[in-house]
Amino acid sequence: MASAFQLGAGFSVQGLYQLITSLLAAGLFIWGVWTIVGHYRYWADGGGDVDWLLWSIAAVLMLLLILVHYL
């Protein structure tokens, strides 16, 4: 007997949820790396302020949370 959450042909709500969260995590991971690299280059050129530093710290923490969750 099929589960109440299966939509047919091996497709399930849980599978869809995992796909969406994985894509979201991948997008946030790419954004985090892009943010860190961009902020490092900006600081290396002599620019930057506290706001840029806080964004970089937030991006690093986000990347660590994603890595810990998926590893």
pTM over 0.85: no
What pLDDT is attached to residue 1?
A: 46
Using DSSP's 3-state secondary structure scheme, residue 69 falls into helix
**Would you list the domain boundaries of the chain?**
32-71
Each residue's pLDDT tens digit in the chain (71 positions)?
Answer: 445 555 555 667 787 788 888 888 888 878 878 877 777 777 777 766 677 777 778 878 888 887 787 76
Quickly count: other Cβ atoms within 10 Å of residue 60's Cβ.
14
What pLDDT is attached to residue 9?
A: 59
Q: What is the dihedral of CA 37, 41, 42, 44, to 10 degrees?
A: 140
